[in-house]
Chain A
């Protein structure tokens, strides 16, 4: 499966600021997704990052709060804007559609965000 990396691995931020998280894959993939995992909780899909077009957001998530970019088939960014303590969470990217399979999703290592 593809090797997926995320930067930063963790960060502590002040409320009102923004943080951009990067997801890099070592090979081209069709789909890239962004999830949030709050402490002790399940994974909630934020959006699907579409290459060359606007991301598709799930109910409860909006572009102004979570702008997403996907400039090519190996890279995506998620920005958490105007942060509040409620945004403290682990943010994970996942990918599918690489050379090995179609819809199987593989996850990056995650970014642990703490907002003070």
Chain B
């Protein structure tokens, strides 16, 4: 089955800095790559996703890049704010209504 590795497990940055979280996957047939943000005690919330026919996608301060050849994708957060502090999970899925395999998560702490 699919194997998803996520790094780093924790990330501390100063407000205004950029943060980058990376994930690698094993199944070359995978083609859907969402990112979820989970605040303490809350449900995971989709923040951005990308499909294999696109190399990069951006939404305001958040961007995701995908390298299908190397089988890795990254989440980029620019101009970080304290409210960005949360656990971020990458996930990998196939086509159609497939299941998702999640990475182990990255705890992001943004200090004022």
Interface residues of A (CB under 8 A from B): 30-31, 33, 41-45, 48, 58-59, 92, 96-97, 102-110
Contacts and interface: CB of A to CB of B under 8 A. Distances in A.
Given A42-B103, A42-B105, A103-B32, A30 B44 contact: no
Residue picked from B34, B42, B96, most chain A C-beta under 10 Å: B96
A45 B98 CA distance: 12
B34 A104 contact: yes
Interface of B: 1, 32, 34, 36, 42-46, 49, 89, 93, 95-105
Given A97-B97, A104-B46, A109-B42, 7 more contacts: A31-B97, A42-B89, A42-B105, A43-B89, A44-B102, A45-B99, A102-B97
Given A42-B89, A42-B105, A43-B102, A107 B97 contact: no
A8 B98 CA distance: 27
Nearest to B94: A103
Nearest to A93: B43
Interface of chain A: mostly helix, strand, loop or mixed: loop
B46 A106 contact: yes
Give me the 6 closest cross-chain CB pairs, A-B, nearest first. Answer: A107-B43, A31-B97, A43-B102, A42-B104, A42-B102, A107-B44
Given A42-B102, A42-B105, A103-B32, A96 B44 contact: no
A97 B97 CA distance: 7
A60 B32 CA distance: 24
A59 B1 CA distance: 10
